[in-house]
Structure 1
Amino acid sequence: MVRKVDFIVLPIMMITYCMQFMDKLALSSGSVFGVKTDLHLVGQDYSWCSSIFYFGFMLGNFIAARILHIVPLGKLIFTAVFFWGITLACSAASQNYAGLMVARFVLGFCESFVSPTFVFMTTMWWTQQQGAFRTNIYFAGNDIGGVISSLIAFGIGHAGGALMPWRYLFICYGCLAFVWSFVILFFLPDTPSKARFFDSSEKKYYKEEMSTSEVEKKWDWEQAKSCVTDVNVWLILVAIASSILPNSGVISYGYIILDSFGFTSIQSTLINLALSVFTWFCITFAGYLASHFKNSRCYVILIVVVFSLVGGCLIYKGQAKGVKLLGYFLVDVQPAITPLLLGMTASNFKGNTRRSVVNSAVFIVYCACNIAGPQLFRAKDAPHYPHAFLSWIVCYCISACLAVIMRFSWIHSNKKLEKLAESAVLPATKSTDSEKEEIMEFMDPTFRYKY
């Protein structure tokens, strides 16, 4: 039964992430194929074209927090991919800075529904322990997208034609997403109970044994309010911020960074191809470790941060081209942190409303950091951007501290659940709201926090 899900649902999620990442990379690829000169982008114009995408993404996340409880999830993903494909293809018609800004905002809005929906769906299809590896698998679709994007950009960079190469990139990526949306429409179920590839006994298992397999239509304000006072929510949000700030710079300025090392646009494309394969391996291997060694996620995050910190220091202080390139590869281990954090977000918060609120908060922080990340690359710091790379080093240090703090926090929370289990007496009159939430978690004997 689980293999059916892994061979049908998981590839759809992974390829959708692949498409999404290709679309995000379209502007970065276009930066070395004429978009800046063709549209007369000067100063911080390019940075704002990167950042405005996440203003649209943030707006969409506010809507996603509520709409996940109302509409069929499979149809929601289809609609998002359908319209972002059209938007990206039409972005090729942009004639100036303003036109590109509008297109990027709409594209961000359309893409915003995918990530929170997939985090939500992870708990519908897989158990807490299974979800960690699967999250890393579909998140690694980003780097498969990076490989495909590099190959397409390499080909289009040599192709010539009546239009500037960046316009062909936008049209190509947009059409691919448009076609893929119909695969999602026909093959991605809204819930396990509507999966055509399940027989009646498998659907019965999900209904009876997986309490998170169906979407509750009711919005619980008590669950929503409990998120504000939960220290674990705030730790996750700060950890997301410290991991996304550096990563957003890599996504938006990856080609430009390599150009600053002294590589040509075609060389940068080939390096990004190798880099995407390397990052895909790191994300997948990190997910494997987190899934096969109990409660090892924070340890894996700590290991990843050490590699990234060394890489950031090599870029910041290194002089030779080879040293900086080695540092850039080590920095690209860092994307493995995000799916581990998303996995903890999916598995460690019970109740559909609470999970929706936490997911939306995570992706709002994600948007804010992706808005801020490109702004660290100030035009006056070009071409070496020391200010941006120093900020990366600071973020990696914060991530290391948070990995340790989160581990102890989840351990402490599990001990409280164990005490409730040992007492077997639930205080009915003197319980605070937070204690009542813990009691509800205790009443599910299979629930313990994963860290």
Structure 2
Amino acid sequence: MIDARNDNIDTSTVNENKLRWKLDLRLMPILCCIYFLQYLDKTLLNYAAVMGIRKNLTPGEFANLGTIFYVGYIASEPITSYFMQRFPIGKYLGINVALWGAVVACHAACHTYAPLMVVRTLLGILEACVAPSLVLITGMWWTKPEQSRRTGLWYLQIGVAQIVGAAISYGFQHVHSTRLANWQILFLFMGCLTAVVGVLTAIFLPDNPMSAPFLTREEKVLAIEHVRQNQTGVENKQFKWSHVRELLFKDEQTWPLFLITVLGMIDNGAVSNFSSIIISTFGFTNERTTIIQMPSGAVSIIATLFATYVVAIVGERALMVAFITIPSIIGAGLLLGLSDNYKVGKLFGVYLLNFCPAMLPIIYSWGAANTAGYTKRTMRNALTLMAFCIGNIIGPQMFKAHDAPNYHPAKAALIATMSILVVLCVLLRQLVVWQNKRRDQQMAQLDKVEYSEFLDLTDMENRNFRYSY
């Protein structure tokens, strides 16, 4: 690791603000594009549901297609996290994007349940690297306050994808072919587009600051020095089992944060897989059902921007997660309590459900800010994504075929799970405050350890580390 203080490299000629803009302009478009395609490609099934793909599927089989994606995702998460540490992350991410693009295109050849289950599983396996890779890359290039905004920017591509996806689906519903159904053409188009983006990612996304061809030597060193204050290091290829044991068995924040993520993503799973079906029960045509989903994307964008920018300014991640969950509880209440005569009110209920998933970029940045040691950070990301998968697996399965079309038990369950989430956030905040106070008391009796930022110490090993909440 190059250290400007020890290697006599003069970084005074480099303007830090210009460097930050340079990094934003070179890196953020790639990260945003990847996350946009990741969300859009996995939710194409939601749009294809109103385009005819459900003709050969039972309601239970369609729910299983939503679930099996996350089974593949969760099964591959520990493995892909290990590969992310062992291989150049930019190349590894790009190859995975290109491969899942090919799998998306293969959806067009699948008409029945069995082949669709295969391609959905493969898609989950290949997309499993995206979020943890983007979290690691964001932590590698930006400071903790900067990470919240950057994570929010690439995460809000979910909302953009919801809007664009609805528009693309609406357009393809008016494309007619004697050989292919319109949903098949949709999968072919998006699969080819994603594969091209994957190749470009492997070429243009640097693996770390020192391998960035668009930076001078002085800029590379300043980019590393810029993130010194994170106390989390940049990159280390040695896999350390001690970090894994600490994360799973010693870190008091691990399992509360895990459970919060699971509970929040139950709502996300319901929105991702059943929003079009719920809206279609209001009596709208397939085309209008698709267009009416577009405001959901706008809600997601607004919620994400608001939450991440407030967190970047004032902190308080725990309280913000609790706060943005409340509108989704109200939304589930509207869906449960209003009769079928109040279509507009129930439609607003669907839109409000998109607030809770905006907690995920806060969870990502929270984990990155509170975890030091490269192996521990990669495995923290893996654990967060496993919680993400479990929630998304549970969400669709709550919508039982025998409860259609109103799905009252599922809506009641959403209210209960999100209410528990709010309580857990308040309790976790108190735990973190107590941990910081305990460290302040311990450090008052010890000498400060100098220059421990790049020693690959974990947050528990580095007594200078203070947790964010």
TM-score normalised per structure 2: 0.90
Structure 2 residue 325 is matched with structure 1 residue 308: no
Alpha-carbon contact 1:345-1:359 (below 8 Å) kept:
yes
SS of 2:173's equivalent in the other structure is helix
Q: Indicate the larger mover: 202-211 or 249-258.
A: 202-211
d(CA) in 1 for partners of 2:202 and 2:59? 42
SS of 2:256's equivalent in the other structure is helix
Structure 2 residue 409 is matched with structure 1 residue 393: no
Q: Which amino acid aligns with 2:247?
A: C
Residue equivalent to 1:34: 52
Describe the superposition over 1:211-268 as per-residue Cα deviations: whole angstroms up to 9, x where unpaired: 5563211122221111122120111100100100111111011110111222221112
d(CA) in 2 for partners of 1:208 and 1:437? 19
CA drift of 1:398 comes to 1.2
1:132-147 correspondence to structure 2 within 5 Å: 132-147=148-163
Residue of structure 1 aligned with 2:368, choices 326, 346, 355:
346
- Counting matched residue pairs gives 437
d(CA) in 2 for partners of 1:142 and 1:213? 29
CA drift of 1:84 comes to 0.4
CA drift of 1:426 comes to 8.5
Residue equivalent to 1:431: none
Describe the superposition over 1:11-67 as per-residue Cα deviations: whole angstroms up to 9, x where unpaired: 211111100111111101011110010xx1114100111111111111221212211
CA drift of 1:425 comes to 4.8
Residue equivalent to 2:113: 97
Residue of structure 2 aligned with 1:419, choices 441, 451, 464:
441
Residue equivalent to 2:453: none
CA drift of 1:10 comes to 1.5
List structure 1 segments (4+ residues) > 6 angstroms apart after TM superposition.
Answer: none
Residue of structure 1 aligned with 2:72, choices 48, 56, 60:
56
CA drift of 1:408 comes to 0.9
Q: CA RMSD in A?
A: 1.7
d(CA) in 2 for partners of 1:195 and 1:355? 22
d(CA) in 2 for partners of 1:10 and 1:261? 39
Residue of structure 1 aligned with 2:184, choices 167, 177, 187:
167
d(CA) in 2 for partners of 1:8 and 1:182? 16
Task: Rate the CA distance shift 1:439–1:159 in 2: closer, same or farther, 3 A.
Answer: closer
Alpha-carbon contact 2:38-2:127 (below 8 Å) kept:
yes
Task: Rate the CA distance shift 1:216–1:114 in 2: closer, same or farther, 3 A.
Answer: same
Alpha-carbon contact 1:135-1:343 (below 8 Å) kept:
yes
What are structure 1's unaligned runs of at least 5 residues? 428-435
Alpha-carbon contact 1:124-1:210 (below 8 Å) kept:
yes
Q: Which amino acid aligns with 1:135?
A: T
d(CA) in 2 for partners of 1:291 and 1:377? 36
d(CA) in 2 for partners of 1:322 and 1:243? 25
Structure 2 residue 89 is matched with structure 1 residue 73: yes
Task: Rate the CA distance shift 1:43–1:282 in 2: closer, same or farther, 3 A.
Answer: closer
CA drift of 1:193 comes to 1.0
Alpha-carbon contact 1:64-1:116 (below 8 Å) kept:
no
SS of 2:462's equivalent in the other structure is helix
Structure 2 residue 133 is matched with structure 1 residue 112: no
1:149-228 correspondence to structure 2 within 5 Å: 149-162=165-178, 163-208=180-225, 210=227, 212=232, 214-228=234-248
Q: What percentage of residue pairs aligned between the two structures are identical?
A: 29
d(CA) in 1 for partners of 2:207 and 2:440? 35
Residue equivalent to 2:10: none
Residue equivalent to 1:47: 63
SS of 2:87's equivalent in the other structure is coil
Alpha-carbon contact 1:417-1:438 (below 8 Å) kept:
no
CA drift of 1:439 comes to 6.1
Residue of structure 2 aligned with 1:271, choices 259, 283, 292:
292
What are structure 2's unaligned runs of at least 5 residues? 1-18, 450-456
Task: Rate the CA distance shift 1:417–1:198 in 2: closer, same or farther, 3 A.
Answer: farther
Residue of structure 1 aligned with 2:399, choices 374, 377, 381:
377
Q: Which amino acid aligns with 1:236?
A: L
d(CA) in 1 for partners of 2:235 and 2:209? 10
Structure 2 residue 301 is matched with structure 1 residue 280: yes
Task: Rate the CA distance shift 1:438–1:156 in 2: closer, same or farther, 3 A.
Answer: closer
Alpha-carbon contact 1:420-1:439 (below 8 Å) kept:
no
CA drift of 1:397 comes to 0.2
Q: Which amino acid aligns with 1:280?
A: I
Q: Which amino acid aligns with 2:126?
A: C
Alpha-carbon contact 2:263-2:417 (below 8 Å) kept:
yes
Residue equivalent to 2:9: none
Task: Rate the CA distance shift 1:168–1:213 in 2: closer, same or farther, 3 A.
Answer: farther
Describe the superposition over 1:302-348 as per-residue Cα deviations: whole angstroms up to 9, x where unpaired: 22111111111011111111110111111111121111111101110
TM-score normalised per structure 1: 0.93
Residue equivalent to 1:430: none
Alpha-carbon contact 1:426-1:439 (below 8 Å) kept:
no
Q: Which amino acid aligns with 1:31?
A: A
Alpha-carbon contact 1:14-1:139 (below 8 Å) kept:
yes
d(CA) in 1 for partners of 2:227 and 2:304? 27
Residue equivalent to 1:259: 280
Alpha-carbon contact 1:4-1:197 (below 8 Å) kept:
no
Alpha-carbon contact 1:275-1:329 (below 8 Å) kept:
yes
d(CA) in 2 for partners of 1:262 and 1:190? 50
Task: Rate the CA distance shift 1:129–1:426 in 2: closer, same or farther, 3 A.
Answer: closer
1:432-451 correspondence to structure 2 within 5 Å: 440-443=461-464, 447-451=465-469
Residue equivalent to 2:22: 4
Structure 2 residue 428 is matched with structure 1 residue 406: yes
Q: Which amino acid aligns with 2:260?
A: A
Task: Rate the CA distance shift 1:438–1:84 in 2: closer, same or farther, 3 A.
Answer: closer
Residue of structure 1 aligned with 2:252, choices 226, 231, 243:
231
Residue equivalent to 1:367: 389
Residue of structure 1 aligned with 2:359, choices 337, 342, 347:
337
